Amino acid sequence: MSRLALSIDLERCTGCKSCEAACKQTNALGPHEYRNRVLWFNENDAKAPRLDFLTVTCQQCERPACLRACPINPKVISKDPITGVVRVDESRCTGCGECALACPYGAIGYDAVGQHAVKCDLCANRREIGDGPACADVCPTQAIKFGQRDVLLEQAKAKDRSVRDHDHYLQGPATIYLDRLSGLWPAADTAPIALLADHEAREPLGSVPAGAPYQHQSKADVPERVVPGGCQICFNSCSLKFHLKGNDVLRIYGNDEDPYFGGRICPKSQMTLQHYRNPHRMLYPKKRVGARGEGQFKRISWAQALDEIADKLRKQREKHGSETLAIHAGTRTGVMNIVGFVPLFAKLWGTLNTATTESFCDASKVIALEQVQGTTCQANVYTEEDIGSAGLYVYIGDNQAETRPVNFGLVNHWRINNSTKMIVVDPRLTATASKADRWFAIRPGTDLALGLALSYHILQNKLHDQAFCSEWMTGWEVWRDWLQEKNYSPDWAAEVCDIVAEDIQWLAEEIAAADGCMLFVSRGINQHSNATQTNRVFMFLAAITGNWGRRGGGYFNVASENNLQHIPVPDDRMASPVRPAVSTNPAAWVNAMGPNAEGEYPITALITSNNPLTQWPDQTRTREALSSLDLLVHLEGFSNETSAYADYVLPIASGIEKGGPSRMAEDRRVIWNDRLIDPPGEVRSDHWIWIELGKRLGFEDILQEDYKDPAVFWDDAFRPANPELHGITIKRLRASPNRCVRAPVAHEDEPEKDTLFLSGSVFFGDKQGRRFPTDSGKLEFYTQEMENRFSAVGLTALPVFYTEPEQLIQLPHLQNSKDKIPVISPFFESPVWQQPVALVEGDGVEATKSNNFDTELVTGRPPAPHFHSWTHFFWQAQEMWPEQYCQMHPEKAQSLGVQDGDRVKIETAHGNVIARAWITTGIRKSAVYIPIGWGERQPFHPAQTANCLTALTLDPPSQQPNLKLHLCRVCRAE
């Protein structure tokens, strides 16, 4: 038998740290204990900035320095003569540390609590039962492979991959590193980014009691059962296997029976182990006894909490009307809650002021898809035949590697295997961009201009798919003429986007020439006040190049909603009359709160999940507004800023504590969780809360008692209301080895569909036999009805370029037309107020410049281990990425006298935030970036939310706010 080894492909690794998570849970490691660790490197070459990742783990050396350094006789460290695996016998190790000092690769860890060395033994325990190392099994990008060293080397040779020679010390390392395809790698004197190398930043993790829950495991902890299910953290809902013993989750791995992901998962799924028994969970209902924001509460019973809330709601209704209650549902509470229970309750109660987080994430895409395609179902799926067969991958404002690591792992795998080109447009060199052939550091907020110019160039040069345009697009010629008339050329866009015209032309030609281009766009374009138009323009670009309704080509904007419908309520049970909603965006509800409330009626009561007091823009105003409410009820798992302001705090269950589907996966898959464990304390599912509250308000005939069982609610109420889910019965979901079924399916026996809208196909359930369920049966870009809709809110169906008011150069933007009265938006099914807008030139620039706001502030998602606020309660996620940070260019840093890792103050017209500097050439010189998710009341690394820096500006059609771009100034923090 040849030596066993890991092969680590540096071209595939995206630095997600899933391997670290797998290692710690498998080997019961606590904070500061490592058997593997992923380092991030910037290569700050101004001409060719790079971002690289290195997984450090034991090299299983032929001549192990650690073994030779061990002073104990017989040695505590041993080398298997057959497999070559080097192991440490922790039960005999006295913790002298000589091995750690001797290893030139720095690959020996140390348990400072247990006082002994720790090191990778390629998961000896797992190998004993026929598994491989956990890191290799979970790796989302397939960067880590395990096997016989000779075989791995043969495989690398067969693929013409260069194997790194790092045997400088002649120790014969077995671990294989496959070089980047470019052959480039950081020089030996390149240090990892200071933020990640700083051990002091991780000192707060010392408070974690013995590395809970991993170190609580013992040899006796043999799982009694392994049950498939899904992750509840993000919209990817990766399929998992829960290893359970009694009421405890021992481990969480990927589901190796999943035909697409094959058991590959990101670190977040695994770290939900730290969610279920987290010491920071809220366990009981509480009532505020101090002033708002003080966080003074007393424990009360559920009965008291719900009785009092119901009583206060009734009084509110009598005083102000039912619409004065607003409900903001959190997405991690699951799709049955946000599309099922909350709308049901709202209809029975009589308010249209309900929202999910869609209004922050992708409402603009939803509106654009409805306009263009007639349905929100997205065509493409992550199969070899579909997305895997693309001739080009273009990412615009989508950092998929860090937001959906498993999906990106697939795309990156296809990119490498098929030598497919990848292009990324983003103000930052993200982990996604680090794998791209070209990276364009676009001026934030100007993607609309880029899309217009790309379309212009393609049409001008007749590079479009004439057949598709003629047969399947309505209004494309009108757009063509419009682009011509407005002269939205690459030359025009070059200055706007800060990308040279030749590059725009090149990109357009690449897209047009590709045999299938997958155009990925996401929050980078969605979270702008021009988002609906930008989405429409990129849809247009995809369509004119024939990248719609085909395998290997398409427009993709996460996530795919499957046209979910609310459960109908009998007319005689609907509350009426109901005044129009203040807004579909909860952040705009603040305008109707407090003593200076605007609009037809005030909002005086709010039931909310999530954490509005970090999530909503313009925190100063939001906090004033929420302080003024008569009733604020907070449903959450952890106590956060919003809890501190709430009158009642209701602890909610999540994932396998409550059961049900979490989110619809990115490629239309429904993933079911059974209720597998009891929640801690008196925690209840939000389903239970809505039903119990409903009972107290007389809604028990609709919000029925037996709906507390999620399977009953799904089969009896939710599924029947959604034709696309008709075939996804609980029976079918439970019969599936990965608990997944892809929508749409009409009945239980109908096979799942992969790519939708293929040529010659009829859209699901369309009785008129149309390929696209629009009035014309084609993709619609311009119709008179459409023009009427856009003009009602002050826009035109033909896209005009505009951006955010805060830009470093003079560019057009929107202003509310104060002289026009609010209208009912034509873009929503239910009536919603909308203030019409008008286009103005960039007169806001001087105002911001005069305040020395000389820098573009870009915000967005942090790296893969984090997702909004929950992961900040997981110690391991904090260990991976501890502190709030601010990326900036070396030239910017130099001008400010800032060193890598220093604390800096970022200030906008709306507030300021302190963060640690991460200096990198992988960002525009004129921009800084800070991630979202940190909050002031988090346990390990509290920090002000990025939304202390943002203001409220809405995209008129979708009412989605700009969260991405503001002007700021930066200085060293004292």
Partner 1 sequence: MTPTLVVTSNTPAALTPKRLVSILAFCVVAVVLALLLSKGRPGEPLPQLAGVIGALLLLVPAVFSWHKRAGGAQRPRSWFVAHVLASMLGIVFIAVHLRSGSLWSPPGVVAAAMVFLVLQGVFARSILGRQYARLFARSPAAFSPIPLDRKALAAVIQHKVELLSTLDSTADEGQFSLQWAHWIQSPVLSWRYARLVRKERRMVNAGKAVSPMLRFWRRLHLIAAFVFVTGLIAHVVVMLFFAGYAAGGESPYWWHLSSWGADWGTKQ
Query: Smallest gap, in angstroms, from Cβ of residue 827 to partner 1?
Result: 48
> In the chain, what is the straight-line distance between the N-terminal and C-terminal CA atoms, in Å?
60
Which CB atom, from 169 or from 506, has the smaller least distance to partner 1? 169
Query: Smallest gap, in angstroms, from Cβ of residue 171 to partner 1?
Result: 8
Q: Is 508 exposed, middle or buried (0-12, 13-18, 19+ CB in 10 A)?
A: buried
Q: How far apart are CA 299 and CA 652, in angstroms?
A: 15
Query: Smallest gap, in angstroms, from Cβ of residue 213 to partner 1?
Result: 11
DSSP-derived pairing of the beta strands 438-440 and 421-425: parallel
- Per the structure block, which two tokens stand in for 12? 């595939």
Which CB atom, from 228 or from 961, has the smaller least distance to partner 1? 228
Identify whether the C-beta of residue 690 lies closer than 8 Å to the C-beta of residue 703.
yes
Query: Smallest gap, in angstroms, from Cβ of residue 416 to partner 1?
Result: 20
Omega into 267 within 30° of 0, i.e. cis?
Answer: no
Identify whether the C-beta of residue 63 lies closer than 8 Å to the C-beta of residue 70.
no
Q: How far apart are CA 948 and CA 605, in angstroms?
A: 23
801 CB-near residues (< 8 Å, 6+ apart): 448, 449, 452, 486, 488, 496, 530, 811, 812
Query: Smallest gap, in angstroms, from Cβ of residue 44 to partner 1?
Result: 15
Which CB atom, from 72 or from 746, has the smaller least distance to partner 1? 72
Query: Smallest gap, in angstroms, from Cβ of residue 251 to partner 1?
Result: 7
Query: Smallest gap, in angstroms, from Cβ of residue 302 to partner 1?
Result: 36
Query: From residue 922, how far is each of 179, 333, 693, 722, 858 by CA, in Å?
Result: 21, 36, 51, 45, 13
Which CB atom, from 132 or from 350, has the smaller least distance to partner 1? 132
Which CB atom, from 210 or from 291, has the smaller least distance to partner 1? 210
Q: List, in sequence order, the alpha helices (H) in 192-250.
A: 194-197
Q: How far apart are CA 307 and CA 648, in angstroms?
A: 11
Residue corresponding to tokens 């939310």: 945
Closest CA to 34 of 205, 249, 169: 205
Q: Is 78 exposed, middle or buried (0-12, 13-18, 19+ CB in 10 A)?
A: middle
Which CB atom, from 75 or from 528, has the smaller least distance to partner 1? 75
Query: Smallest gap, in angstroms, from Cβ of residue 102 to partner 1?
Result: 6
CA dihedral 595, 598, 600, 606 (to 10 degrees): -60
Which CB atom, from 96 or from 478, has the smaller least distance to partner 1? 96
HEC string for 35-82: CEEEEEEEECCCCCCEEEEEEEECCCCCCCHHHHHCCCCCCCEEECCC
Query: Smallest gap, in angstroms, from Cβ of residue 165 to partner 1?
Result: 8
Query: Smallest gap, in angstroms, from Cβ of residue 217 to partner 1?
Result: 5
Query: Smallest gap, in angstroms, from Cβ of residue 480 to partner 1?
Result: 52
Identify whether the C-beta of residue 302 lies closer than 8 Å to the C-beta of residue 912.
no
Which CB atom, from 105 or from 874, has the smaller least distance to partner 1? 105
Query: Smallest gap, in angstroms, from Cβ of residue 408 to partner 1?
Result: 24
Which CB atom, from 75 or from 966, has the smaller least distance to partner 1? 75
- Per the structure block, which two tokens stand in for 465? 């798919």
Which CB atom, from 26 or from 614, has the smaller least distance to partner 1? 26
Which CB atom, from 118 or from 928, has the smaller least distance to partner 1? 118
How far is CA 537 from its chain centroid? 23
Q: How far apart are CA 555 and CA 362, in angstroms?
A: 14
Q: List, in sequence order, the alpha helices (H) in 498-618.
A: 501-513, 523-526, 531-544, 586-589, 612-615
Q: How far apart are CA 415 and CA 181, in angstroms?
A: 12
CA dihedral 38, 44, 46, 49 (to 10 degrees): -10
Query: Smallest gap, in angstroms, from Cβ of residue 63 to partner 1?
Result: 3
Which CB atom, from 43 or from 709, has the smaller least distance to partner 1? 43
Which CB atom, from 434 or from 446, has the smaller least distance to partner 1? 434
Identify whether the C-beta of residue 507 lies closer than 8 Å to the C-beta of residue 454.
yes
Query: Smallest gap, in angstroms, from Cβ of residue 79 to partner 1?
Result: 6
Q: How far apart are CA 122 and CA 622, in angstroms?
A: 51
Query: Smallest gap, in angstroms, from Cβ of residue 136 to partner 1?
Result: 15
Which CB atom, from 20 or from 667, has the smaller least distance to partner 1? 20
Which CB atom, from 61 or from 338, has the smaller least distance to partner 1? 61
Q: How far apart are CA 244 and CA 226, in angstroms?
A: 6
Helix, coil or strand: residue 608: strand
Ramachandran category for residue 908: left, alpha or beta (phi over 0 → left; psi -120 to 50 → alpha):
beta
Strand order in the sheet with 669-673: 660-664, 669-673, 740-742
Query: Smallest gap, in angstroms, from Cβ of residue 196 to partner 1?
Result: 10
Closest CA to 962 of 534, 611, 559, 593: 534
